Structure 1
Amino acid sequence: MSEPQIVVGVAVIRAGRVLAALRPGPDGGWEFPGGKVEPGETDEQAAVRELREELALEIKPRASLGPPQAIGEKYLLKVYAADLLSGEPILQEHSAIKWVEVSELDGLDWLPADRPFLSALRKVMVCDI
């Protein structure tokens, strides 16, 4: 069996809120936007590229929000906090996006692999306020 593909999710933080993106379809739900790490890329480079491609945002990745989470047998999700440097999100691959306050995090139907990162994200967001 081959090694799982690394996927990065990015918790983009702006003014005390985090960007959540709604993945469309029957297996959809709220997630941290991002995508697959390409060969030769670091997680951080992939995060910058994916947010630029998916949402037209320029970001600066920060720390990881915890240990990787399996998405089935093929993928391993790593989520990083990031600061928004410039841009306003443009919908291209998601059906909706929203800026969410700490108090609203539990009100979203997060994808199972993204949920374990919420606790660490809360701590980062509270420290940033």
Structure 2
Amino acid sequence: MDEQIVVAGALFSEAGLLVAQRQRPPELAGLWELPGGKVAAGESDAEALARELREELGVEVSVGARLGADVALKAGMTLRAYRATLTSGSPHPHDHRALRWVTVDELDDLPWVPADRAWLAELADALRSGAPLD
């Protein structure tokens, strides 16, 4: 079987970085992550991320550049992050317990899902540069 790609969106605004609190599975419930999901057969990473953020948050986004390195998940799954820019809508937690905008000073204080911790340095750099837009 082919490798399963999972995409995550680093959605930035003047308010900071949008993070989502997991509702499930039980071992990850309550932890924070970048929202996203699995790439379906025939979809590009960008198409999958735009679809996942539409489903999970109710927003339309423009997907930009990759952020950080790929993160190996369980056997055969790879997680990758992309910058995303909100083009319409206001985020709502359809598939999460909660959403919040965080600043660079709050990044290290959040209980992150383990895989997303790999990107904290890149996320902090992006927030410090004030820079979401690609």
TM-score (norm 1): 0.92
Q: Structure 1 residue 89: deviation in Å?
A: 1.2
User: For 2:63, which of 61, 64, 67 is the aligned residue?
Assistant: 61
Deviant stretches of 4+, over 6 Å: none
RMSD: 1.3
The number of equivalent residue pairs is 128
Looking at structure 1, the residues matched to 104 and 32 of structure 2 have their Cα atoms a distance apart, in angstroms, of 15
Q: Is the 8 A contact 1:16 1:125 kept in 2?
A: no
Q: Is the 8 A contact 2:8 2:49 kept in 1?
A: yes
Q: Which residue of 2 aligns with 1:92?
A: 94
Looking at structure 1, the residues matched to 27 and 13 of structure 2 have their Cα atoms a distance apart, in angstroms, of 28
Q: Is the 8 A contact 1:23 1:31 kept in 2?
A: yes
Secondary structure of 2:114's aligned partner: coil
Q: Structure 1 residue 73: deviation in Å?
A: 1.0
Looking at structure 1, the residues matched to 63 and 116 of structure 2 have their Cα atoms a distance apart, in angstroms, of 17
Q: Which residue of 2 aligns with 1:23?
A: 22
Q: Structure 1 residue 16: deviation in Å?
A: 4.6
Q: Which segments of 5 or more consecutive residues in structure 2 lack a partner in the other structure?
A: none
Q: Structure 1 residue 45: deviation in Å?
A: 0.9
Q: Is the 8 A contact 2:7 2:49 kept in 1?
A: yes
Secondary structure of 2:75's aligned partner: coil
Q: Which segments of 5 or more consecutive residues in structure 1 lack a partner in the other structure?
A: none
Q: Structure 1 residue 3: deviation in Å?
A: 3.3
Looking at structure 2, the residues matched to 61 and 128 of structure 1 have their Cα atoms a distance apart, in angstroms, of 17
| Paired amino acid for 2:19 | A
Q: Which residue of 1 aligns with 2:78?
A: 76
